[in-house]
Amino acid sequence: MTLLDPLKLLTIRLPLSPLSLENHRLLERYKVGGICLFRGEYTRLTDILDLLERLFDLLGPQTLISVDQEGGSVVRLPQLPTSPGGFALSSANDPELTYAVAHLQARALRLCGFNVNFAPLLDINNNPRNPVIADRALGITAEGVIRHALPFLKAHQDAGILAVGKHFPGHGDTHVDSHYGLPVLDKDFDQLEALELKPYRAAFDAGLEAVMTAHIVFPRLSSKPATLSPEILGYLRQNMNFDGLVFTDALDMKAVVGESPPWEVALDALEAGADNLLVLDSATLEQTFERFQPTSHQMKASLERFERTVQKYPFKPPQREELSELLSKGRSSIVSVARKAVTARGVIPALKAHTPTLFLIPPNVRGGGANDSDSIGARLREEVGKRLEKAVVLEYDPENPDLDELESELQWAEVIIFVTVQRTSMQGGQIKIAQRLKTHVLDKAAHSQPNCATSRGGPPNGPIRPNAVHANLWNPFLSLELPTVSTFGFSEASVQALIYALEQAAFPGTFEVNSLETEHV
C-alpha cells in the first residue's frame, strides 16, 4: 500500500450482482480501500461467493468489504442466518441468546469473506415517530441498548468481523429519515451524554473499534450535519478518546447532498474527522477517484487507522466448505429469540388446528432486503398451510382492498388474523379493514347469530363469536386498536414465531409498546 494513497479512504458501493466489465476495469485502475455490497440481482449464495472471490483477486487482503447485515428489516444477504431484528432481541431480553444469534450471523459473514458489518445500532429509539430506526434499534432506553449491543459486539469480534456502531451521536430521537431529508435535533453535549452517548461509552469500554456517523444537524453544536462537523467529530476524538475508525454514512443521502460534488463532500467529512468515506454515487465514481485529493496532513492519521484495521481484520476469500457446514447446523438460536420476542396486547385466542381461521395478509413488503422487496405473503401462506388445517389465507391490497370479498369470507371464520407489515404508517386500505373487523366482531357478539355449515368447514350449529387479531410484523408503534400480537420483524423465524405463539397462546416478550406514545389508527 502506498503510504499516502487517498483511495484507501474511500468505500464505494457495488451491487450484489455480476461484476460488470466496466467495474472490473475501474477496480483494476483504482485500488479503493473499501467495497460495500448492496442490493442487487443475486439470489444464489454461490454467485455472491464467486463475486467476493473476484474482488479478492482484484483488491487483495488490505480491503474493507462491508455489508449492512443488521438483521430484521435490514438484511442484504437473506441466504445467511441473521438476527430477527433489534427490537426482537430487546424483547426476548436474553443477552446470551443475543450473543449466540449475533455470533452465528457474524461467523457466516466471515466465512463468505466479509470483514466489516455495519452493525450494531447504538441508537436509542425513544421516538415512536422515527421513520428510519424503529425496529432496527436494540432498545428504547440506554440500558436496554447496552444490554444487547455489548454481546452483539463481542460476538462479531470473536468471529473476526469488525463491528461498526451507528449512527453517531444518535439517530433514535429523530422524526425525519436522513435518506430523504435533513433531521435536526435541538440537543447539546450535556443532553447527549445523558442519553444518546451512553451506549457509545459502554461500547468503547468493551472494545468497539469503529463507528458510523449520522447525517443529523445539532444546531446548538454545529451548523453542519454530524458527518461534516469538526465540533461533533472532534468531541468524539477528544472528549470520548476514540481512536478507532470513523465511517461516514452514505454520502449520497439527501441529508448531505447539496450543490457540492461528492468528492468535495468526502473531503469535508475527512477534514471534520472521519476516516472512511462511503461514496456511493456510482455515476460519478471515476470523477471522484480523480478529484479526491486531500492533503497529507488530512490523510495521515486516517490511513494509519485504516492500515491498523485491515491488519487485524484482513479481507479473506470465501471458505466454502466451512460455510456449508455452518449453514447445515441449523438456526435454533434464531428461532428461540424470535419466539421469546413475541408480545401481545389484549385478549388473544389460542388457535387450534381445527379452528376456522382467516388470515388476511399483504402479498409483499418493501424493506431493507437484498432486492428491497420481500414476499411475505408466500412465507405466511406456507407456514399457515403446514400448521393449521382449517385456516384460509386471503391476500389483500393495503391501498385498495376488496371489501366485498372480505365480507363474504368473514361469515365463516371464528378467528381473523389481520397481518400488517408496515414501517412508518398504516395505509388507507388497512385502516378500512381494521374498522370493518371491529364492526364485525361487535355485531356478531351482540346478535349471536347461528352459524351455518360452509365449504370452509365451520361448525354446523352454535353461535359465532369471532375474534379479530392484529398481527403486527414490523413497527410495533403502529396500532389498529385491535388485540395485537407483535413480532418486531417479518423474517422467516418471526413468521414461524407468530404461528407458534398463536397456537400456544404464549407471548413471553418483554417489550412494552405502551411505554412510548403509540400511533393508534
Catalytic residue numbers? 179, 249
Q: Residues near 71 by Cβ (< 8 Å), separated by ≥ 6?
A: 82, 83, 84, 85, 86, 88, 89, 101, 105, 119, 489, 491
Nearest to 470 by CA among 459, 486, 455: 486
On the 0-12 / 13-18 / 19+ scale of CB atoms within 10 A, 444 is buried
Query: Omega into 95 within 30° of 0, i.e. cis?
Result: no
Name the DSSP letter for residue 491.
S
Q: Residues near 281 by Cβ (< 8 Å), separated by ≥ 6?
A: 251, 252, 262, 288
On whether the CB atoms of residues 125 and 141 are closer than 8 A, the answer is no
What is the three-class DSSP state of 200? helix
| Residue 492 C-beta-side C-alpha neighbours within 13 Å | 10
Q: Residues near 360 by Cβ (< 8 Å), separated by ≥ 6?
A: 394, 396, 406, 416, 417, 418, 419, 433
Nearest to 33 by CA among 370, 342, 270: 270
Strand partners, 95: none
On whether the CB atoms of residues 65 and 113 are closer than 8 A, the answer is yes
Give me the helices (H) in 216-295, please.
Answer: 230-238, 262-272, 285-291
